[in-house]
Amino acid sequence: MSKTLDKQLKERYARWEHLCKYGGQDPNWPDGCNMNLVRNHIIFTKEKMKEAGEFTETYYRELPPEVDPEYMARAEEIRINARKSLEIYNKHPDYLYLVDVIKDLNKKQINDTSINYVIGYVRGLAMFIEKDLLLDMRRHEDPERYIESFTSCRKAVEKILGEKPRLVFYKDKKQLEGQLSITDFLTV
């Protein structure tokens, strides 16, 4: 049992150190919260080892300190990457297309395509940068995920706009001549 507990303890120390240096990927919790959680797991594992009377070298390692729950590793790197992502978004043709065509969509089409949310990713990132919200900025370190959303949304919008009925001046496949009435306009 002690080998299993010792292995768990080593893994938990390694996880705490990784979070401290590189941070995590949790989109909802800062690195400090996760570090403190791992610290509690270390304490729990040490208690289990004590109950079992198994005192390994790892057991005697110093307990990691409790940290500020809002701590974020790589803070400056996150800021730099977020600014780069915002620049990429603001120049991306699919994003620019969406910003331009939203005015051509009705409320149902806007809801169906989620275009407001997709455009909102960029507005949100700008706000995160302005307010220095590192946790939120970290979600944008790799812009590809959001660029995929721009592309998917554009395809959905193009499909909708391409399905709009077009008006034609034909009735029974013969071109109409003279003055047209409203009923002469057919949709195809």
Q: What is the pLDDT of residues 6-49, one digit of tens each?
A: 999 999 999 999 999 999 999 999 999 999 999 999 999 999 99
Regarding whether 118 and 43 lie in a shared domain, the answer is: no
Residue 78, token pair as written in the block: 């996150």
Regarding whether 80 and 29 lie in a shared domain, the answer is: no
- pTM equals 0.78
List, for residues 113-129, the tens digit of each pLDDT value: 999 999 999 999 999 99
Regarding whether 89 and 55 lie in a shared domain, the answer is: no
Element (H, E) at 170: strand 170-171
Regarding whether 54 and 79 lie in a shared domain, the answer is: no
Residues in a beta bridge with 175 = 170
Residue 156, domain member (yes or no): yes
Residues 6+ apart with CB under 8 A from 162: none
Residue 142, token pair as written in the block: 């790799």
Is residue 93 within 8 A of residue 51, CB to CB? The reply is no
> Which residues span the domain enclosing 120?
75-167
List, for residues 62-109, the tens digit of each pLDDT value: 999 999 999 999 999 999 999 999 999 999 999 999 999 999 999 999
